[in-house]
Amino acid sequence: MSPIFRQQILEARRAGIMRLIEKQRGSRVISMIHRQETLSFLGIGFNRYISIEDAEEVLRAIRLTDPSRPIDLIVHTPGGLVLAAGQIAWALADHPAKVTVFVPHYAMSGGTLLALAADEVVMDRNAVLGPVDPQLGHQAAASIVAAVRRKDPNHVSDETLILADMAEKALGQVEHSVRQLLARKMDPDRAAETAHLLASGVWTHDHPLRVDDARALGLNVSTDMPPEIYSLMALYPQPTRQRPSVEYVPIPDRTTRPAQQPGGGAR
């Protein structure tokens, strides 16, 4: 029963921190944090990403929020389904009150799409966003299109041509959605330019966009991250391993220079 009790304690502590943030900011706090957590007796981990179930839950939370109340969305995700991320992004964009997306570590791909819908993005100084170009399976849509264009059409299978056609449509659809989201707070030309950079495959899909990069794209980015956000993230642990891959002493380093002995020598 120990894993069940531990999970209940974690959930209660998470809820307590979220209520504290809501009280401090007068907002509705929603978290979407995707880690690989050990939740079963057998210790089996589950990979997490933005799914249809996530979209249903976030849309329900937004629907239950008073239109005059700001929304704070805490995002930690590698991305996920374009459909699900798009639904959440437009629900956030349509909320009348201010929407803030907090990125304590990373919000890649579909997570970046959510950030584009926000009125303000609050990032840790070392947090990153990423491109939103669509992927078909494990391949970048832009790369599929580029590869087919370089080949002799007479030596490309019908199946590959169909895949390239789907990839080209996916690129156009995502770029159009991003342009519409950005046009709410940018002039049309700037929105189109930024949408093309983010959605057309200019960069690799895992290219990190840091705070300065996000600002250069025209996003309203702050680094004033509330300490409670970090406390909340600490309550979403990774799976238990035999030995942690990162270790440190979790207290401030108060080391001073060696004390001097009366005769002037170091002790």
Residues 156 and 95 grouped into a single domain = no
| pLDDT value of position 253 | 59
Cα–Cα distance measured from residue 26 to residue 69, given in angstroms and rounded to the nearest whole number: 7
In a domain, 1, yes or no: yes
Give the H/E segment covering residue 13.
helix 2-25
Task: Compute φ and ψ for 254, nearest 5 degrees.
Answer: -110, 25
| pLDDT value of position 155 | 85
> Tokens 């290219």 label which residue?
207
In a domain, 142, yes or no: yes
| pLDDT value of position 46 | 43
Residues 107 and 226 grouped into a single domain = yes
Domain count for the chain, please give it: 2
Residues 232 and 100 grouped into a single domain = yes
**Of 207, 228, 257, which residue constitutes the final position of a domain?**
207
- Domain containing 76 equals 1-130+208-241
pTM to 2 decimal places: 0.84
Q: Where are the alpha helices (DSSP H) in 117-199?
A: 141-149, 158-182, 188-199
In terms of DSSP bridges, do strands 120-123 and 221-222 run parallel, antiparallel, or are they unpaired?
parallel
Tens-digit pLDDT profile for residues 228-255 = 999 999 998 765 555 556 666 776 655 5
Residues 18 and 119 grouped into a single domain = yes
Residues 216 and 90 grouped into a single domain = yes
| pLDDT value of position 153 | 77
Residues 19 and 111 grouped into a single domain = yes
Residues 2 and 36 grouped into a single domain = yes
CATH number of the domain encompassing residue 17: 3.90.226
In a domain, 264, yes or no: no
Residues 92 and 220 grouped into a single domain = yes
Residues 144 and 126 grouped into a single domain = no
In a domain, 95, yes or no: yes
Residues 124 and 220 grouped into a single domain = yes
In terms of DSSP bridges, do strands 28-33 and 139-140 run parallel, antiparallel, or are they unpaired?
unpaired
- Strand spans (E) along 77-127: 99-103, 106-107, 120-123
Residues 83 and 151 grouped into a single domain = no
Taking 50 as the pLDDT cut, the residues of the chain under it are 37-46, 266-267
Count of CA atoms in the C-beta half-sphere (13 A) of 64: 9
Cα–Cα distance measured from residue 115 to residue 232, given in angstroms and rounded to the nearest whole number: 19
Residues 139 and 177 grouped into a single domain = yes
